[in-house]
């Protein structure tokens, strides 16, 4: 993390210089254009173009040319200083980050099958981001045959999210009504919050929308049991339509953050309904790799320095435990209380008759010991 801060500090310096240089450059060029325009107007007032310029005008014109030349040279010199600042960012990156990370790789990890899986994960990531053209191009280049049914959920998801970002609730409401039973089975409040936002948008129209708002309030009936207090607040706000909701105790209903929240809620519930993770597996893996990489590089250097052979020769485990933070906790991990090792697919947890759970390796050792 400290390395990222160091690089970010150098980057901020460059951005500040760019901003300062841009303002100085615009101001200087405007002054120069104004000066030359005035000189041009003064020369044009001399009348006939064939008449030679007076000595005074000739001197002023030569001074103008010199000023233009000096200004251009000064701007070019300042621009070179920015180049040196940019190069310092590159040096900061080289200093704080290891450019060669091949030492922590495992030979043969990107064989044909692994390469195919990686390509599929990348295609799914592009589908999630709404980059359908890029995903289809990758499918062609990688020789993948993706079932259209895998793409359809992401196409619909991105279509509805794009509508929500421009504050169009109708596509999301249609989807929520069509999937009402499954959403209620998940105890989701998505449909109610969509109706709530639509009702608030009617309130913002003032008394002109009063009748329509009262009519739309009938949509809250299925949610009266679980959202009684919220519905009471919405109904109470109707009293202040004439003076404006923004000038009432209900001004919190107009909070713009709720549009970002509804996008997150829709994404979470829609993905849960489709059996998908909320975050892209590729993004999660990349973030976890960024956290784990420094520790892996350090332990690899220690292993090579001490010439410890055979410590890192297993493809299904790491030589050290890497703490990725609670954000990356997706499932529990069982550790054998006897061998103090985490269980794996090859060494699964085993339940004894007495109810205790140990690893299979520990059970085999106990059997071999005649216990």
pLDDT at 53: 59
pLDDT at 349: 92
CA-to-CA dists, residue 297 to 4, 98, 104, angstroms: 16, 9, 6
pLDDT at 294: 79
Give me the tens of pLDDT residue by residue for the chain, a chain 371 residues long.
Answer: 566 777 788 888 888 888 888 888 888 888 888 888 887 887 777 655 555 656 777 787 788 888 888 888 888 888 887 887 788 888 777 777 766 666 666 666 667 777 888 888 888 888 888 788 888 888 888 888 877 777 788 888 888 988 998 889 999 999 998 988 888 888 888 999 999 999 988 888 888 888 888 898 888 888 888 888 999 988 988 888 888 888 888 888 888 888 889 998 998 888 888 887 778 888 888 888 888 887 887 777 777 777 766 666 555 666 677 788 777 777 777 888 888 888 888 889 999 888 899 999 999 888 886 65
**Structural Rg of the chain based on CA atoms:** 34
Place of tokens 């529990």: 332
pLDDT at 98: 64
CA 54 – CA 246 distance, rounded (Å): 69
State the burial class of residue 113 (Cβ atoms within 10 Å of its Cβ: 0-12, 13-18, 19+): exposed
Task: State the SS3 of the chain.
Answer: CHHHHHHHHHHHHHHHHHHHHHHHHHHHHHHHHHHHHHHHHHHHCCCCCCCCCCHHHHHHHHHHHHHHHHHHHHHHHHHHHHHHHHHHHHHHHHHHCCCCCHHHCCCCCCCHHHHHHHHHHHHHHHHHCCCHHHHHHHHHHHCCCCCHHHHHHHHHHHHHHHHHHCCCCHHHHHHHHHCHHHHHHCCCCHHHHHHHHHHHHHHCCHHHHHHHHHHHHHHHHHHCCCCHHHHHHHHHHHHHCCCCHHHCCCHHHHCCHHHHHHHHHHHHHHHHHHCCCCCCHHHHHHHHHHHHHHHHHHHHHHHHHHCCCCCCCCCCCCCCCCCCCHHHCCCCCCECCCCCCECCCCCCEEECCCCCEEEHHHHHHHHHCCC
């Amino acid at each position: 993390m400290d390395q990222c801060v160091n690089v970010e500090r150098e980057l901020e310096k460059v951005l500040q210089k760019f901003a300062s240089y841009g303002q100085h450059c615009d101001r200087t060029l405007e002054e120069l254009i104004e000066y030359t325009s005035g000189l041009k107007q003064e020369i044009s007032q001399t009348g006939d173009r064939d008449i030679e310029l007076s000595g005074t005008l000739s001197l002023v014109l030569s001074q103008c040319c010199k000023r233009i030349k000096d200004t251009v040279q000064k701007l070019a010199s300042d621009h070179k200083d920015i180049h040196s600042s940019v190069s310092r960012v590159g040096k900061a990156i080289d200093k704080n980050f290891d450019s060669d990370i091949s030492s922590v790789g495992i030979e043969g990890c990107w064989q044909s099958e692994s390469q195919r899986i990686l390509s599929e994960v990348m295609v799914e990531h592009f589908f999630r981001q709404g980059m359908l053209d890029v995903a289809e191009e990758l499918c062609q280049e990688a020789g993948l045959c993706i079932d259209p049914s895998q793409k359809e959920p992401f196409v619909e998801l991105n279509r509805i999210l794009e509508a929500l970002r421009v504050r169009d609730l109708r596509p999301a409401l249609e989807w929520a009504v069509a999937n009402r039973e499954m959403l209620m089975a998940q105890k989701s409040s998505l449909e109610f919050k969509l109706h709530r936002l639509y009702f608030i948008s009617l309130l913002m129209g003032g008394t002109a929308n009063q009748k329509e708002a009262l009519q739309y309030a009938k949509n809250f009936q299925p949610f009266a049991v679980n959202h009684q207090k919220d519905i009471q607040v919405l109904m109470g706000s109707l009293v202040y339509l004439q003076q404006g909701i923004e000038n009432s105790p209900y001004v919190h209903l107009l909070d713009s953050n709720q549009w970002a929240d509804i996008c997150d809620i829709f994404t979470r519930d829609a993905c849960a309904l489709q059996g998908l993770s909320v975050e892209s597996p590729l993004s999660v893996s990349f973030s976890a790799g960024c956290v784990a990489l420094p520790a892996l590089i350090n332990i690899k250097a220690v292993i090579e320095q001490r010439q410890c052979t055979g410590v890192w020769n297993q493809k299904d485990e790491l030589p050290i435990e890497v703490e990725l933070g609670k954000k990356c906790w997706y499932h529990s991990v069982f550790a054998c209380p006897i061998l103090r090792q985490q269980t794996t697919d090859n060494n699964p947890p085993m339940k004894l008759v007495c109810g205790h759970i140990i690893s299979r390796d520990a059970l085999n050792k106990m059997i071999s010991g005649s216990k």
